[in-house]
A and B are shown apart, each in its own frame.
Chain A
Amino acid sequence: MRAPKIQVRDLTFWYGQHRAIDTLQLDIWQGEILGLMGPAKSGKTTFLRVLNRMCDLVPGSRMAGSVLLDGEDILRPECNVDTLRRRVGMVFAKPVPLPRSIYENLAFGPRLKGKRINRKELEELVETSLKAAQLWEEVKDRLHDSALKLSGGQQQRLCLARTLAMQPEVILLDEPTSGLDPISTARIEETLTELKKDFTIVLVSNNTKQIARCSDKTAFMLMSRLVEYGVTHEVFMVPKNKQTDDYISGRFG
């Protein structure tokens, strides 16, 4: 049996005195979408940010335990965070296109990777990334227009495409559809289902229905702890924990 892509062992994370994640154990598998749900302040976004060490940017944060990506601990101080973040891409809740053209938004990352990349390779990369994010058809004739002119849903798919252009192994999504209309949301979900063959995806969402629709495994976090983890339909049909049941059925504050 193959090993999980990411193994989280005894992960604890503090912001100053506040413990945002408490001894968390979790396996994340390649080729699957892990849906992570929980109320506000439950630690799910923090967890996501630990996976690509974006959490380092917060002053006064500390962490303990280990997170193994392909067997290598990414929490070690000698781990190069820039290299790590290229392998573990992230899409934020609010779409943030850089103030450049659509093409430049995608070409931006690969160009700065350090490796020389010629024009043709870059164009191909932009095209495949946009296709994978299902945005290509809508923007192929205006690649050099400003990315700021796109609609919210298109911008979010652009952000996804920008992450894909870095050719990551893992994609983290932090409530990617929270600001979008239902149709845009559906398109993003469709895209994610399509992408999961090739990537390891962690999807954080406030929307339990979205988790139920998209994810293969579901984790439920509450007050910094992992309360429940399992195959999605089992978690939603027969939750082992009462709090999970309450949360899913909306009886939860």
Chain B
Amino acid sequence: MRIDPFLTERLVKGLLWCFTGLTLFFLIFIIAFISFKGLPQVTLQFLLHDIEDMGRAGGIFPTIVTTIYLSLVALAVASPLGVGTAIYLTEYTREGWITRMIRFGAECLAGVPSIILGLFGFVLFVIKLNFGWSMLSGGLSLAIMVLPTIIRTSEEALKAVPKEYQDVCFSLGITKWQTITRVVLPCALPGIMTGIVLSIGRSISETAVVLFTAGASLRTPTTLFDSGRSMAVHFYILAREGLSMPNAYGTAAILIISILLINITAYSLMQRFLQKYS
């Protein structure tokens, strides 16, 4: 029996609409649920106070500082490395087995489970290099984690810059490095920034890596060698040990809202970049 194509058309349309709706529903449900449970906890007190009684009382100020601290260390290390690698891959080598190897390596790195990356960071930075559970160990491990994202987005952004610009620069006798810094990078900047902002989002939400490498100290970290617990870790411990569900949701709400804001920023940057070159 043949089905009427017009009926199929309508069925498919309905089905696809349902899929999209369901996807959207999950997103909205999670955000709404966490906000509903968590936002009542969120007060200025909650944001600006130290953790008390293992998290049953007090605020989450140290976890916010730790989260930002870790992300900044990760970015400070991963951005130059990632953008540098991307520049090397796009500008200084020709497509060949070496570039393919590097790219494949980066892809594999992106596929490493974060718990294993955490273990690696623990063994290398915490034990071997004797940084201890610290902002430095945590930041470096997160840097390794976000490196592939930064490399790939930067590479795409650099590739999108019209080749003609480089021809023009070379024909004017401008050196390669001048061309890259004065023309190529400024054009690719919004795209590169998108990758970096997305990486911030990933480092903020990462739990396993941080738990292994930055520890879970309750104090506010000041130096690079201080331990601290990030928001995600704090949430994990509060929920896991059943210390205080309301405070866990409060932390989760802050976490999810900041990630949402970060992704919106990344998205709008990307839009601007695409508008410029299409």
Q: B43 contacts which chain A residues (CB < 8 A)?
A: none
| Chain B min CB distance to A66 (Å) | 21
- The reply to whether the CB of A112 lies closer than 8 angstroms to some CB of chain B is yes
> In the complex, what residue of chain A is closest to B186 when comparing beta carbons?
A99
> Is B182 within 8 A of A96, CB to CB?
no
A19 to B174, CA, bound (A): 29
- The reply to whether the CB of B52 lies closer than 8 angstroms to some CB of chain A is no
Q: B183 contacts which chain A residues (CB < 8 A)?
A: 98
- The reply to whether the CB of A54 lies closer than 8 angstroms to some CB of chain B is yes
> Is B187 within 8 A of A99, CB to CB?
yes
A90 to B173, CA, bound (A): 10
> Is A90 within 8 A of B165, CB to CB?
no
- Assuming the A-B contacts A98-B183, A108-B182, are A85 and B173 also in contact, with contact meaning beta carbons closer than 8 angstroms in the complex? yes
> Is B172 within 8 A of A162, CB to CB?
yes
> Is A96 within 8 A of B165, CB to CB?
yes
Among B138-162, those with CB < 8 Å from A are: 162
- The reply to whether the CB of B178 lies closer than 8 angstroms to some CB of chain A is yes
| Chain B min CB distance to A45 (Å) | 12
Interface string of A35-73 (1 = CB under 8 A from B): 000000000000000001010010100000000000000
- Assuming the A-B contacts A96-B165, A98-B183, A99-B187, are A85 and B94 also in contact, with contact meaning beta carbons closer than 8 angstroms in the complex? no
> Is A98 within 8 A of B178, CB to CB?
no
- The reply to whether the CB of B170 lies closer than 8 angstroms to some CB of chain A is yes
A92 to B165, CA, bound (A): 11
A82 to B204, CA, bound (A): 45
Q: A109 contacts which chain B residues (CB < 8 A)?
A: 172-174
A102 to B98, CA, bound (A): 40
> Is B165 within 8 A of A83, CB to CB?
no
- The reply to whether the CB of B168 lies closer than 8 angstroms to some CB of chain A is yes
Interface string of A100-120 (1 = CB under 8 A from B): 000000001100110000000
- The reply to whether the CB of A94 lies closer than 8 angstroms to some CB of chain B is yes
- Assuming the A-B contacts A96-B165, A108-B182, are A90 and B174 also in contact, with contact meaning beta carbons closer than 8 angstroms in the complex? no
- The reply to whether the CB of A6 lies closer than 8 angstroms to some CB of chain B is no
- The reply to whether the CB of A200 lies closer than 8 angstroms to some CB of chain B is no
- Assuming the A-B contacts A108-B182, A112-B182, are A163 and B172 also in contact, with contact meaning beta carbons closer than 8 angstroms in the complex? yes
- The reply to whether the CB of A89 lies closer than 8 angstroms to some CB of chain B is yes
Q: B178 contacts which chain A residues (CB < 8 A)?
A: 112
- Considering only CB atoms and an 8 Å cut-off, how many residues of chain A contact the other chain? 26
A87 to B94, CA, bound (A): 28
- Assuming the A-B contacts A98-B183, A99-B187, A108-B182, are A85 and B164 also in contact, with contact meaning beta carbons closer than 8 angstroms in the complex? no
| Chain A min CB distance to B44 (Å) | 45
> Is B174 within 8 A of A96, CB to CB?
no
A162 to B182, CA, bound (A): 16
Q: B187 contacts which chain A residues (CB < 8 A)?
A: 99
> In the complex, what residue of chain A is closest to B96 when comparing beta carbons?
A59
A84 to B170, CA, bound (A): 11
Q: A57 contacts which chain B residues (CB < 8 A)?
A: 167, 170
> Is A98 within 8 A of B167, CB to CB?
no
Q: A221 contacts which chain B residues (CB < 8 A)?
A: none
- The reply to whether the CB of B258 lies closer than 8 angstroms to some CB of chain A is no
Most buried by B among A82, A83, A89: A82
> Is A85 within 8 A of B170, CB to CB?
yes
- The reply to whether the CB of B99 lies closer than 8 angstroms to some CB of chain A is no
Residues of B with Cβ closer than 8 Å to A? 94, 162, 164-165, 167-168, 170-175, 178, 182-183, 187, 276
Given A162-B168, A163-B171; 6 other pairs, CB 8 A cutoff: A54-B167, A85-B170, A94-B164, A112-B174, A162-B172, A166-B172
* A-B contacts, 23 listed (Cβ < 8 Å): A54-B167, A81-B173, A82-B175, A84-B173, A85-B171, A86-B173, A87-B173, A92-B168, A92-B171, A96-B162, A96-B164, A96-B165, A96-B168, A98-B183, A99-B187, A108-B174, A109-B172, A109-B174, A113-B173, A159-B168, A162-B172, A166-B172, A166-B173
